[in-house]
Amino acid sequence: MPVARVVVLDHGSGNVRSVVRALEAAGAQVELTADRERALAADGLVVPGVGAFAATLAQIKGVGGDRLIERRLAGGRPVLGICVGLQVMFETGDDDGDRTPGLGQWPGEVTRLEADVVPHMGWNTVDPADGSTLFEGIAGERFYFVHSYAARRWEMEQIGSLAAPLVTWAEHGGDRFIAAVENGALTATQFHPEKSGDAGARLLANWLRTLPRYPVEAVS
**Looking at the annotation, which residues are catalytic?**
83, 192, 194
* Spatial contact of 120 and 178, defined as CB atoms under 8 Å apart: no
DSSP code for 163:
P
For residue 74, give Cα distances in angstroms to 7, 34, 67, 118, 184: 18, 19, 10, 36, 11
Look up residue 2 and give its DSSP letter. Answer: P
Mention every residue, 6+ apart, whose C-beta is less than 8 A from residue 78: 43, 44, 45, 72, 185, 186, 187, 207, 210, 211, 212
